[in-house]
Structures are given as structure tokens and as C-alpha cells.
Structure 1
Amino acid sequence: MASATLDVVVARVRGPGDSNATPPTAAKDLRTLATTSALRPAVASLGEASVDVIAYASTTTGYAIGHVAEAAMIRDLHQLAGVPVVTSGLAATEALKTFGVRRISLIHPPWFEAEMGDLGATYFRDQGIDVVCLTATSLPVRPDRVRPEQVIDYVTENVDASAEAVFIAGNGFRAVSAIDELERRTGKLVLEANQVLLWSILAATGSTLQVDGYGRLFARG
């Protein structure tokens, strides 16, 4: 999305004895990983890479632990790493509040477990944002098979008319290329997990990198 090249270093958070390449999806497992002790090895590896900011790319972790615990996690990680830390959920909330949005259509990918619908709605409602939550069950269940045009068609057909904005959750959801067309078709602000994460990264680091396209979020002066 950025006009300049960004170096990205990835560190996976692993639980005790975790040798499975498949990331956990259940809320109870995500809560286990969202602790300082579980995060410490990943933070250490990122420190060795001298990163300028840490992005916790898991929307569902925020859902699982709630926004208060998520903010506390960010503070702990900042103290541990000495650099800014951002998360998808809190970045989305900040973006929605920046635009004065009070009601959203929350779109989840088909691989989200059923409990995430309720947890996601609670996450935003607890921060003063009303939610109509939908899970895109008609889309492919494998993330690598989802195409932007499929996301565009689903959201356009199912977005709640009373919603002021759309948030497409899930950092593995291939939806960022759908943002501009969705804003054109729906007339609503459209946010997406990776888009808001980048927006929050740029804000946290005071970066002046130009981002062209990808919705009204980056066009706001």
C-alpha cells in the first residue's frame, strides 16, 4: 500500500510446545498467546532486527481479550520493546472515531469461528460503536482463494443500509484491493484490518510516507 519500500520483519507468537504451522483461531488459545511471557521471544527477535514499530496483526486477539486488556498489552509490549506498538482492532476503533462513525457493518471472513461474531460485536460496542455483524460464508474458506471482486460483491449486497462505515476484519482476509471500489459503490467509509494497521503504523512513527488509494482513510488531511 505504501509508495515507498518498507522492510517488514515477521515474528510468530508461539505457545509452549507449539510446533504447528497453523495459527490458533479459538478465543481461549488467542488469550493464552496474548501474554507478556508468550510474546517476549517474538519481541526479542524483532528487537534484534531494530524495527521502528511493532504491529500485532491479529484482529481476533483483540476480540478475545477485549479492548481494555489489548491496550494494556500494548503498553507492556512498548515497555518491553522500546518502540511504538499498534494492533488492528484498536487502529480500527481510532479510525472510526476520527471519522465520527457510530454504527458499522462488521464483515468477518468465513474461517472465523462462530464465537468471533459475538466477541467482535462486543469489542466495538464496548467502545461506543454500534455493530451489525456478518460472516461472509459464501466466500471461499481458504484465504488464498478469496478474490477482491468476491469481497466487493458480497459487501455491496449485504452491507447494512443504516451503517455509516464498513470494517472488514481479519488480517488474512484478502480485501485491501476492494476498498476503493467498495467506497464508490456503497458511499460509505470502508476500513480493512491491514489498511488500518498501516495507517496506525504511520501515525505512531510520525511517517510522511504517501499512500495513494486504499480509501478515504489515507486521503484525510
Structure 2
Amino acid sequence: MWRPDGWDVRVRIGVLTPHADVGPESEFRAMAPPDVGVHAARVPFGAMRHGGAMDATIALAPVRAFAEPPYVDEAAAQLATAPLAALAYAFTSSAYVIGADGEEAMLARLTDRAHGLPVVATCASTVEALRLLGATRIALVDPPWFDTELNGLGRGYYEAAGFDVPFSAPCDLPSGQALIRPGELHDWVAARVPGEAEAVVVGGNGFRAVGMVENLERTLGRPVLTANQVLLWAVLRAADCRTAAITGYGRLFAVDTPSL
């Protein structure tokens, strides 16, 4: 019998990710069914060093620069030469800094550079998902390496989109991608989400979060949206490949999602 070799997939999607960040690819591959191929292009990110090391909090200048030409544009253009159906821009914080209008303009530019392939981004996709879920009041939790200014910009992003944000904070856990544990994140969030929040939004594509989504939804009785979860949902929809086959990672995947 021939062994699976990764060639026989139904759809292939591309991911634009910071150069030393393994989070988006790791979480995409954990969630995606076997017949979804995931292919990444790495984009220089000035706040990330060799091995994924970062300062305890990240400055705004490299966050803004990540969304600007030329590096992400070149990565999108090169990645789109592969036989892919859609691209996912796996970077939350730039949308906080440039706002929804800047994010929309960036996506239009990247789509053009990607030879017309659809390109989706985390925050715009989160807004769409929240509206489909019927949630108007959210709790926003960001990684510990987002300072209060960056988290405040995130709050402003969602408020400008029409959402009430009764809780917004960086997560008070050790600041380092490799230091985050799903159980600790679950407990931190569960202890702080106010009753009036109708959904939880967890920002940060480098934030280890999808492993606790199902348990947190069970604990809180409300939808939980994390950066890579919502981005995978959005890129598969953009690729005309619905997501009902994905289970165990939150109720979002059952929203408007005919079977793969």
C-alpha cells in the first residue's frame, strides 16, 4: 500500500507569516483536515530575532512596517505562483496600528500582487465572524507581548467596527511564545471575561491559543475566536472550501460552512 505523501489534497492555501514565527503554520496544520495543504512564505519582521526571540513587549514601528511594501508584497507575489486557492495574512497587530481602512487597502494591494488570488486578514475576518455569530459585545485578550497601547489600538479597531468592548487587556502570562500553555491561558481568560461579553476574541497569530478554544467555550458558554482559528476559517471560505469537517476548535467552524 502506498503511504500518504501530501500530494492528494482538495485545496492548498498560503500563509504569510513573520520570518521566525512558527505559530500560524503549527495551528493551521493542527486544525486543518488532511486534504487541506498549508504552504507558508516568510516575511521579515523587525521585532523578531533568530529563533523567534522578542522583547517583552513589541514596538509599534516594526508592527506597522510589516504591513508595508516591499517585503510582504514580494512574499505574496512569490507564494501566489504556487497552485494555491487563497492566501492568509497571519499578523494581527498591524491592523490595530493601521486601522480597518489601512487593512482594507493593504489587502487590495496584496491581492493585486498575488495575481488576483483572494487574500484574507485576521482582524477583518474576525469582524465578519462576529457578525455572523450575532455577537455585539466582546472581550478582547491579546498576547503578553502586546503592551497596553497596542491593546488599546485593538480595542479601538473593534469599537470602530461597531462592537462594544467591556473588557480588553494583554494577557498577564509570561511574555514569550514558547512559554504559553493552553491550560494557563484558559484559566486566565475564564477568570476575567465579564458576563456581558457575548464572545471572546484572542488576538495574536503567534499566540498559542487554539488548543484551549473548545474547553473555554464549554467553560464560558460563549463563542471564542482566536487569531489563527478565524484566519483558517476565512481563508478556506475564500478558497470556496467550507469548514464543517473541522471539529474540536470552536463553534465558528459550523457557521455558514457546508462540508469540505
Normalising by structure 1, we get a TM-score of: 0.91
Deviation at 1:72, TM superposition (A): 1.2
The gaps in structure 1 that reach 5 residues or longer are none
In 2, distance between residues paired with 1:10 and 1:151? Answer: 26
C-alpha contact 2:201 2:224 (8 A) present in aligned 1: yes
Deviation at 1:216, TM superposition (A): 1.0
Mapped pair 1:174 → 2:219: no
Aligned pairs for 1:90-109 within 5 A = 90-109=124-143
More strand by share: 2
Deviations 1:21-49 (A, max 9, x none): 45884222222231243322212320233
In 1, distance between residues paired with 2:49 and 2:188? Answer: 32
Identity of aligned residues (%): 40
Structure 1 stretches of 4+ moved >3 Å? 17-25
2:62 to 29, 34, 39: 29
Give the aligned partner of residue 13 of structure 1: 43
In 1, distance between residues paired with 2:182 and 2:49? Answer: 29
In 1, distance between residues paired with 2:164 and 2:221? Answer: 19
Deviation at 1:18, TM superposition (A): 10
Give the aligned partner of residue 120 of structure 1: 154
Seen in structure 2, the aligned counterparts of structure 1 residues 208 and 155 have a Cα distance that, compared at 3 Å, is same
Mapped pair 1:69 → 2:99: no
Give the aligned partner of residue 229 of structure 2: 195
Seen in structure 2, the aligned counterparts of structure 1 residues 53 and 120 have a Cα distance that, compared at 3 Å, is same
C-alpha contact 1:3 1:212 (8 A) present in aligned 2: no
In 1, distance between residues paired with 2:159 and 2:225? Answer: 17
Deviation at 1:151, TM superposition (A): 1.1
Which letter maps to 1:66?
A: G
Alignment RMSD (CA, Å): 2.1
Give the aligned partner of residue 4 of structure 1: 34
Deviation at 1:145, TM superposition (A): 2.0
The gaps in structure 2 that reach 5 residues or longer are 1-30
C-alpha contact 1:140 1:146 (8 A) present in aligned 2: yes
Deviation at 1:19, TM superposition (A): 9.8
SS of the aligned residue for 2:107 comes to helix
Deviation at 1:80, TM superposition (A): 1.6
Deviation at 1:219, TM superposition (A): 2.0
1:111 to 138, 142, 145: 145
Count of residues in Structure 1 that have an aligned counterpart in Structure 2: 219
Give the aligned partner of residue 39 of structure 1: 72
SS of the aligned residue for 2:191 comes to helix
SS of the aligned residue for 1:211 comes to coil
Give the aligned partner of residue 113 of structure 2: 80
2:180 to 115, 130, 146: 146
Which letter maps to 2:43?
A: V
Mapped pair 1:52 → 2:88: no
Deviations 1:106-155 (A, max 9, x none): 01111113321111001101100111202211x22121121111111111
C-alpha contact 1:36 1:77 (8 A) present in aligned 2: no
Normalising by structure 2, we get a TM-score of: 0.78
